[in-house]
Structure 1
Amino acid sequence: MLRRNQKFLTQIYAIFDFAVIQTAFLLAWWVKFESGWLDANQPIPMSVYAVWSAVYGAVAIAVGFFIGLYGPNRKKRFADSLLKIMQTHFISLFIQLSLLFFFKEVHISREFLAIYITLDIILITIYRYMLKASLKRLREKGYNKQFVLILGAGSLGRRFHDNLTQHPELGYDIVGFLDDNTENNPLHTRRFKPVIGTLDDLEETLQSKLIDEVIIALPLDVHHKFPRIIAACEKAGVRTLIIPDFFDYLPARPFFDNFAGMPLINVRDIPLDMVGNRIIKRTFDLLFSLTAILVTLPVMIVIAVAVKLSSPGPVIFKQERVGLNRRSFYMYKFRSMRQETSGTSDTGWTTANDPRKTKLGTFLRKTSLDELPQFFNVLFGHMSVVGPRPERPYFVEQFKEEIPKYMVKHHIRPGITGWAQSNGLRGDTSISERIQHDIFYIENWSFIFDIKIIWKTIINGFLNKNAY
């Protein structure tokens, strides 16, 4: 039967969230009315604020249950939980403000509410992160285990076995395999758990062993057995998860849709297809690029003058690149090479000792300062601050034939920096590895992920040892 750990943990999360909300209330009260840092005008007593804090806590818990904040999160990333925390408290704040308006509580300090919600989100995020990290450590030590039975000891089942054993922090223990094919017995290798029976032994195995989840990793030719397998698992109260035999064609986090009354798997679900996510990213791009332009304007003026004095030609070099939805645009850079004669082909790579480069251009490329004008590309909507790096049309045509899934990168705006670049894949590095990083970013985009990439880019520095 299903174990009660998750239900207990859900209750603990809800109780702790409510307690943290009230802690945030006390801290906000102190900051606003007792610290002396702000205007301490207090037209209504603390008890009124306390009542509304309790109401907000109840609303936040209810909203959290509604949007799935308190669902099982053992398999989820903390970024997913953080997004739900933000959603929960923004929705709850809207409901709270509506209630205050309805009950004509016009004297509640709006400054207090701003401090209250900010502290609330910060404290809940910190304690949930610490709790998740603590649970991971406990699971690595063998506590709070969940037990998994794998149906199918073929290549699919063994691959899942290998992947799961590489993540002990998830707290899963594999009981073994069930498989009808005796050739799929992995007993001869020590790293695999044994085949403990056939598929016909499923019901007996579920009764005799403690099993929380059954993973179906069977090939397509035995899909006719799925109804009986699922019925047996549901009868025993055990969760059932299916690994599609064609999972290599699916994204890291597949999305199920409904079309004409039939469930469909979206082969390439992209978070930035959602209007809300696009608005968030574009708003951030505008604010960040404007700030970057204002901050670096003196540096750009100095570079522009230096480029003009270093060699004849324009200050800005414009090069055609392929961007969002395979549309071409001109990407801006400070010119780092001597001006080319008309008709020169733009189909070659820059080499380490390229005679076309100026001394100033070599420095600009190494320090990435030549890319500062790309913030104007972001401002004009050609690019984003974070995204896959754009390539020239000639190489796009070449790479799309040589590298699988290369064209997926054009589903979103290209970026000044990206997940690949923040991991050192810049300049003369593997295109295949870069595409793998780009696709991971596209399928797992979040606002927090963008911040992480920008921060990682800053921490790692702008020096590019692979830049020619």
Structure 2
Amino acid sequence: MWVQTVELPHNAPQLYREILEAVERHYRSLKYLEISFAPADRGWYVLVKRMIDLAFGLIGLILLAPLFAIISVLIRIDSIGPTFYLQERVGENGEIFKIYKFRTMIADAEKKTGPVWASENDPRLTRVGRVIRGLKLDELPQLINLVKGEMSLVGPRPERPPFVSLFARAIPGYMHRLKVKPGITGLAQIRNGYDRCAEDVIRKLRFDLVYIKKMCLTFDLKLLGQTLLYLAKPV
């Protein structure tokens, strides 16, 4: 089991109580998912999935290099700070890795608040950052994580260590999410979006466990298609 000493969010006690209340409301369905949990027999699928991830990542980085350069210049002109934002996330089997994103917030955004959930209208967003996030371009640097083998195109969204530590204590079956490689997109990301409350965490876990039980190449392709439709929506 994954264990790490981490700095918990400042609102950890309140969030923990809210999650416990949500777990109590959904206890039967969560226990069923935990007891009946059995990942799909993946076999050759893991190798094919990795080959697709690597090819997609390399081709994407090459083709999008001009866009990366333009976004990087705009970020540096707009606000003080680095182009990329690196943040610790928990990956497959509890391995910690650094996720890459274009910086969309002011530098040291969590210096005073500690770990907090991001939101669509976060007041810490810069002017350029708000546009980048609105156009859904801030996640593009995760192609680097794809090439490095830390993430996959499709899978559960990787969470930050403080939140994994908190959720694992309160939610039955939460650690099953760490049995597969995290993804840039996935069933939970498409259906649930940002976490706004404890109910969202429970809902996202349900989607993640359903994905892990059903994961196969055709399901991945279906989710990638749904992701493209989501990205094509007007801002």
TM-score (ref. length: structure 1)? 0.40
Q: How does 1:280-295 map to 2 (within 5 A)?
A: 280-295=48-63
- Does the Cα contact within 8 Å between 1:368 and 1:462 map onto a contact in 2? no
- Does the Cα contact within 8 Å between 2:86 and 2:99 map onto a contact in 1? yes
State the structure with more CA Rg: 1
Confirm whether residue 433 of structure 1 aligns to residue 200 of structure 2.
no
Aligned match of 1:249: 35
Q: Which amino acid aligns with 1:436?
A: R
Aligned match of 1:309: 77
Q: Which amino acid aligns with 2:116?
A: G
Q: How does 1:164-313 map to 2 (within 5 A)?
A: 249-251=35-37, 268-272=38-42, 274=43, 276-313=44-81
Aligned match of 1:407: 175
Q: Which amino acid aligns with 2:141?
A: P
Aligned match of 2:129: 361
Confirm whether residue 328 of structure 1 aligns to residue 104 of structure 2.
no
- Does the Cα contact within 8 Å between 1:368 and 1:464 map onto a contact in 2? no
Q: Secondary structure at 2:184's aligned position in 1?
A: strand
Say which structure, 1 or 2, has more relative contact order (CA 8 Å, 6+ apart).
2
Cα gap change, 1:464 to 1:400, in 2 (>3 Å): farther
Q: Which segments of 5 or more consecutive residues in structure 2 lack a partner in the other structure?
A: 1-31
Distance 1:419 1:343 in 2: 32
Q: Which amino acid aligns with 1:434?
A: K
User: How much has 1:415 moved relative to structure 2?
Assistant: 0.5
Distance 1:351 1:398 in 2: 19
**Deviation string, structure 1 residues 219-272 (Cα, Å, up to 9, x no partner):** xxxxxxxxxxxxxxxxxxxxxxxxxxx897223xxxxxxxxxxxxxxxx23433
Q: How does 1:344-355 map to 2 (within 5 A)?
A: 344=112, 346-351=114-119, 353-355=121-123
Cα gap change, 1:400 to 1:341, in 2 (>3 Å): closer
Cα gap change, 1:455 to 1:356, in 2 (>3 Å): same
- Does the Cα contact within 8 Å between 2:118 and 2:194 map onto a contact in 1? no
Q: Which amino acid aligns with 2:188?
A: A
User: How much has 1:343 moved relative to structure 2?
Assistant: 5.5
**Deviation string, structure 1 residues 5-26 (Cα, Å, up to 9, x no partner):** xxxxxxxxxxxxxxxxxxxxxx
Cα gap change, 1:302 to 1:439, in 2 (>3 Å): same
Aligned match of 1:442: 212
Query: How many pairs are equivalent?
Result: 201
Cα gap change, 1:247 to 1:320, in 2 (>3 Å): closer
- Does the Cα contact within 8 Å between 1:427 and 1:464 map onto a contact in 2? no
Q: Which amino acid aligns with 1:250?
A: S
**Deviation string, structure 1 residues 187-241 (Cα, Å, up to 9, x no partner):** xxxxxxxxxxxxxxxxxxxxxxxxxxxxxxxxxxxxxxxxxxxxxxxxxxxxxxx
Cα gap change, 1:325 to 1:390, in 2 (>3 Å): same
Cα gap change, 1:270 to 1:336, in 2 (>3 Å): same
Q: Secondary structure at 1:448's aligned position in 2?
A: helix
Moved over 6 A (4+): none
- Does the Cα contact within 8 Å between 1:367 and 1:463 map onto a contact in 2? no
User: How much has 1:377 moved relative to structure 2?
Assistant: 0.3
User: How much has 1:302 moved relative to structure 2?
Assistant: 0.9
Cα gap change, 1:343 to 1:362, in 2 (>3 Å): closer
What is the alpha-carbon root mean square deviation over aligned residues?
Answer: 2.3
Cα gap change, 1:343 to 1:356, in 2 (>3 Å): closer
Aligned match of 2:17: none
Confirm whether residue 453 of structure 1 aligns to residue 223 of structure 2.
yes
**Deviation string, structure 1 residues 9-53 (Cα, Å, up to 9, x no partner):** xxxxxxxxxxxxxxxxxxxxxxxxxxxxxxxxxxxxxxxxxxxxx
